[in-house]
Amino acid sequence: MSRRLVEALQRRPLDRPPVWIMRQAGRYLPEYRDLRSRYSFQEAVSTPEVAAEITMQPIRRFAMDGAVIFADIMTPLEAMGVDMIFDPGPKLRPHTLQEVIALAELDPEKVGFIGETIRRVRGEADDDVAVIGFAGAPTTLLAYLVEGGGSKEFMELRSAIAADPPAAREALDSLGRAMNSYLTVQAEAGADVVQLFDTWAGLFGRHTYADVCLPAARAALADLEVPSIYFAPAAGHTLDLQPAIGAAGYGVDWRVPIDEAWNRLGDVAIQGNVDPAILRTDVDTIRRHVSDVLDRIGGRPGHIMNLGHGIDRHTPVENAAAFVAAVRA
């Protein structure tokens, strides 16, 4: 069975690009809010029938080309012995680089519920819908581990890496191996595509990115049996470096025009890149911005339509529908 998303990553000519939305299974959907009123976030993620139901909600409503599993980038760290709560983002004890290096290896059996969620989604989704697994990139996971939660600047992370690059590389290498194991679990369970989210890599200059961040991301995606996408928002200054990671496709945010970004990335597939704020406007504005992206692509094979970041929780449902319809039209 042909899956449009996989074909786009293989850069095959298509009559239209595949479309999905990062965070498409989330708080902007009333059915999600209803279901989550009965389960905590961690309960929902670790209960396969609940996670699979949440994953399928936007597929039923919008007919997306990809079903991204409902989980969190921090999920595998819990399986490695890291205690945390979600309120609403992750909160945990700050770790030193040496403590990160000493974390337990990822035991695939401890993330078996993720594999079961994928199997359930694969069994329910139409054959032409690609199941999308994902993980956090090592640099982004290290950011939360060192900082103890979210931050705008991640000063603790940046100072730790600057003070001890060898220890940072060792910590990131360890996380890279763990995420490779985690993504392998997902691929073996039936994920057609996996995405690596490197949300905070853009905080670093080109030298640190190339020397410390990039090799760990490459290790996370090494030797997988399914195609992968790498996405680092606010990292336009590293686009020409990113293909060394070895993904089939690269997500780009809205800060760089998609045709310019593709020229800098080179001979790879590309994903994006409508500003999520556009989906909080009106149908005509959404159509105009979708058309602008498609005009810049000019029919070049290898494009996956998406936002330049996750969908905002206050997005009207009808506007998400208008975005998908504009692409499908």
**Mind telling me the catalytic residues?**
23, 27, 36, 72, 144
Q: Enter the DSSP assignment of 268.
A: S
Rounded Cα gap, residues 306 and 324, in angstroms: 9
Q: Which residue has 């594999």 as its token pair? A: 115
CA end-to-end distance (rounded Å), the chain = 22
Q: What DSSP string runs through 206-263?
A: HHHIIIIIHHHHHHHTTT-SS-EEEE-TT-GGGTTTGGGG--SEEE--TTS-HHHHHH
Q: Enter the DSSP assignment of 313.
A: T
Q: Enter the DSSP assignment of 308.
A: S
* Pairs from 323-328 (Cβ < 8 Å, separation ≥ 24): 323/19, 323/21, 323/274, 323/279, 323/286, 323/290, 324/19, 324/21, 324/62, 324/63, 324/64, 326/286, 326/287, 326/290, 326/291, 327/16, 327/17, 327/19, 327/290, 327/294, 328/16, 328/19, 328/63
Among 301, 326, 172, 187, residue whose Cα is nearest residue 249: 301
Sign of the CA dihedral with 168 first, then 231, 87, and 43 last: negative
